[in-house]
């Protein structure tokens, strides 16, 4: 990535998840008891260990003639655009960058009804852009569970390079049988809960939903309320294994340090970390080692917020949800209580506060990792709203 202009402002947010529709429901859910994952209709009978964190029935029914992933994306996108107060002219010139791991893959396995004729799976960005009347660049990013993290950094670059003043960016994911069954075959499903950093964790549990943000250049955001800004981002790739992370952890460290460098920040500036934290045995231990390398002896003093314990692993939308959570934490000035592990893994000596704690430093580090070795880290810096 290039040097990020300090003017990549977040001016609008939208979210729909198992916690409900809207950022109000999202924040309320993060500050109260989270829902439990439930069996997936039609699949659990065949693959009994598959559970998922699902959007409540009716919470994201838009009436639009699109696949479920696109409908979720549109629901969150309309919230973000309204929150940002964009005019019709601003929407018309807006770029759309959307990350998704599965796209409309549910159409291929019968979970959702496909459109008449053939349609590409990864079409969410173009459908969202078309429905909203956004005629700027439309980009769909689909590199697995890091997709919306990469989408966010692409949006930052579009603004940094002067190619866009306003970008609608985020991620969306709907449940599909093939990915869920595939994780079951890998032995990577937890049959109870998504419980990152728990000594008894047995894998991840997926969730569905969409998280969207409106990001704007300093010029376009002038005089508008802002949640804060995306001030740094870094990418890297392990090129180690199709599914397993490189145990050395060098490349996730590289991504985090690049994000901090772009944000002109050091470990002492970080007030919170929203980790990738999937609940798989290898990921949580590796990420703890990565954070030790990046934060040094501050590791045990920097609070982590384990988002996936609330909404599951939303795959390609995970990083976008993490930034929405960070923006809301910055707005409210506090980090919600974690869903505490029953027994924290001694190999993961991170601080997961069991009560709400103040956000004492405005910068929040966010990580997202993916199959294929893709790693992305971002720094969100809270402002005033």
- For the chain, the domain total comes to 2
Do 312 and 204 lie in one domain? The reply is no
Identify the pLDDT of residue 114. 60
Written as six digits, the tokens of 95 are 């770029």
Q: What's the pLDDT tens digit per position in 106-151?
A: 777 665 666 666 778 889 999 999 999 999 999 999 999 999 999 9
- Same domain flag for 190 and 258: no
Four-residue CA torsion sign, 335, 337, 339, 343? positive
Helices 318-332 and 147-160, packing angle to 10 deg: 70
Same domain, 242 and 324: yes
Q: Which of 221, 236, 262 is the last residue of a domain?
A: 221
Would you state the pLDDT for residue 279? 95
Q: 10 Å Cβ neighbour count for 242?
A: 7
* Residue 301, domain member (yes or no): yes
Residue range 145-200, pLDDT digits in tens: 999 999 999 999 999 999 999 999 999 999 988 888 888 888 888 999 999 999 99
> Is 152 in contact with 323 (CB distance < 8 Å)?
yes
Q: What is 242-264 written as a DSSP string?
A: SSSPPTT-HHHHHHHHHHHHHTT
DSSP state of 315: G
Does a structural domain hold residue 2? no
Answer yes or no: do 74 and 23 share one domain: yes
- Residue 249 — pLDDT band, cuts 50, 70, 90? confident
Q: What is the mean pLDDT of residues 341-356?
A: 97
Statement: residue 103 has pLDDT above 80: yes
Please indicate, yes or no, whether residues 265 and 211 belong to a single structural domain of this protein: no
Is 44 part of a structural domain of the chain? Answer: yes
Domain boundary among 221, 237, 262: 221
Residue 3 has pLDDT above 50, yes or no: no
Residues 68 and 143 in one domain: yes
Domain boundary among 221, 251, 277: 221
pLDDT digits (tens, 9 = 90+) for 217-242: 999 999 999 999 999 999 999 888 88
In a domain, 149, yes or no: yes
Give how far the C-alpha of residue 292 lies from the chain's centroid of Cα atoms, to the nearest Å: 22
Does residue 385 register a pLDDT over 50?
A: no
Q: In this structure, what CATH number is given to the domain that contains residue 136?
A: 3.40.47.10
Domain enclosing residue 344, as ranges: 228-382
Which pair of tokens denotes residue 196?
């990152």
pLDDT of residue 329 exceeding 90: yes
Ranges of beta strands (E only) in the chain are 9-17, 20-21, 38-39, 51-53, 95-99, 138-141, 166-173, 206-207, 209-216, 228-237, 270-274, 334-335, 357-358, 363-369, 374-382
Determine the Cα angle at 86 with ends 233 and 7, to 5°. 30
What's the confidence (pLDDT) of residue 6? 61
Q: Indicate if 214 and 237 belong to the same structural domain.
A: no
352 and 210 inside one domain: no
Predicted TM-score (pTM) of this structure? 0.95
Looking at the structure, do residues 27 and 118 belong to the same domain, yes or no? yes
Is the domain of 279 the same as that of 163?
A: no
Let me know if residue 3 belongs to a domain.
Answer: no
Mean pLDDT of 4-13: 81
Q: Which residues contact 146 (CB under 8 A, 6 or more apart)?
A: 99, 316, 319, 368, 369, 370, 374, 375, 376
Residue 232 and residue 214 share a domain: no
58 and 185 fall within a common domain: yes
């Amino acid at each position: 990535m290039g040097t990020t202009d300090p003017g990549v402002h977040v001016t609008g947010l939208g979210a729909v998840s198992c916690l409900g529709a809207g950022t109000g429901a999202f924040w309320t859910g993060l500050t109260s008891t989270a829902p439990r994952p439930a069996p997936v209709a039609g699949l659990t009978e065949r693959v009994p260990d598959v559970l998922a964190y699902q959007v409540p029935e009716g919470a994201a029914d838009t009436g639009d003639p699109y696949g479920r992933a696109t409908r979720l994306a549109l629901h969150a996108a309309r919230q973000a655009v309204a929150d940002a107060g964009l005019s019709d002219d601003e929407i018309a010139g807006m770029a759309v960058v959307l990350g998704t791991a599965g796209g409309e893959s549910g159409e291929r396995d019968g979970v959702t009804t496909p459109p008449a004729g053939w349609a590409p799976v990864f079409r969410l960005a173009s459908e969202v852009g078309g429905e909203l009347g956004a005629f700027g660049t439309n980009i769909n990013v689909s590199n697995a569970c890091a997709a919306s993290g990469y989408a966010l950094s692409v949006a930052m670059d579009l603004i940094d390079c002067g190619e866009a003043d306003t970008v609608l960016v985020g991620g969306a994911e709907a449940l599909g049988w093939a990915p869920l069954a595939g994780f079951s075959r890998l032995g990577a499903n937890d049959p109870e809960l998504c419980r990152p950093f728990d000594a008894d964790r047995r894998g991840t549990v997926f969730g569905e939903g969409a998280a969207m943000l409106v990001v704007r250049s300093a010029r376009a955001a002038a005089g508008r309320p802002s949640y804060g800004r995306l001030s740094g981002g870094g990418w890297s790739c392990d090129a180690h294994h199709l599914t397993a992370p490189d145990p050395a952890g060098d490349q996730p460290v590289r991504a985090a340090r690049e994000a901090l460098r772009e944000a002109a920040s050091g470990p002492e500036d970080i007030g919170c970390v929203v980790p990738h934290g999937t609940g798989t045995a290898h990921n949580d231990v590796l990420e703890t080692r990565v954070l030790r390398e990046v934060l040094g002896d501050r590791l045990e003093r920097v609070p982590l917020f384990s988002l996936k314990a609330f909404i599951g692993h939303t795959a390609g939308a995970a990083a976008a949800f993490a930034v929405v959570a960070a923006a809301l934490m910055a707005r409210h000035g506090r980090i919600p209580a974690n869903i505490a592990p029953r027994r924290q893994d001694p190999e993961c000596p991170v601080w997961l506060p069991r009560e709400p704690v103040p956000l004492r430093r405005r910068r929040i580090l966010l990580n997202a990792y993916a199959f294929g070795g893709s790693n992305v880290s971002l720094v969100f810096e809270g402002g005033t709203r």
